[in-house]
């Protein structure tokens, strides 16, 4: 199974890193690396997140919480697709 990032997810990661870097550049690099490392586990453990109950097919769309960040992704036969990434204090994407 492969890991795929949507353009929205890539933009989310850039936005989060830039926001953190304004206050703490070292933390921005560390948090970005930790988030990516967690997301790289998804193809091996695709059901590690919790189902999104409001989704049309809750078991397919899941949220993985990592610290203060939420990674929303979908599970498919040959891929896990990262849909969005946000800080818990932001509104859902």
Architecture of domain 2-87: 2-Layer Sandwich (3.30)
For CA atoms 16, 21, 23, 29, the dihedral sign is positive
Encode pLDDT of 41-69 as tens digits. Answer: 999 999 999 999 999 888 899 999 999 99
List Cβ neighbours of 6 (8 Å cut-off, separation of 6 or more).
81, 82, 83, 84
How far, in Å, CA of 47 to CA of 11, rounded? Answer: 24
Prediction pTM value: 0.90
Domain boundaries, the chain: 2-87
Dihedral, CA atoms, 53, 59, 60, 62, nearest 10 degrees? 60
Q: Are 34 and 41 in contact (CB under 8 A)?
A: no
């Amino acid at each position: 199974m492969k890991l795929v990032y949507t353009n929205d997810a890539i933009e989310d990661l850039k936005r989060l890193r830039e926001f953190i870097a304004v206050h703490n550049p070292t933390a921005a690099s560390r948090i970005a690396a930790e988030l990516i490392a967690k997301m790289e586990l998804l193809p091996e453990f695709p059901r590690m997140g919790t189902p999104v109950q409001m989704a049309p097919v809750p078991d397919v769309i899941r949220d993985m919480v990592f610290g203060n960040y939420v990674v929303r992704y979908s599970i498919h036969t040959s891929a896990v697709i990262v849909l969005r990434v946000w800080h818990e204090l932001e509104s859902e994407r």
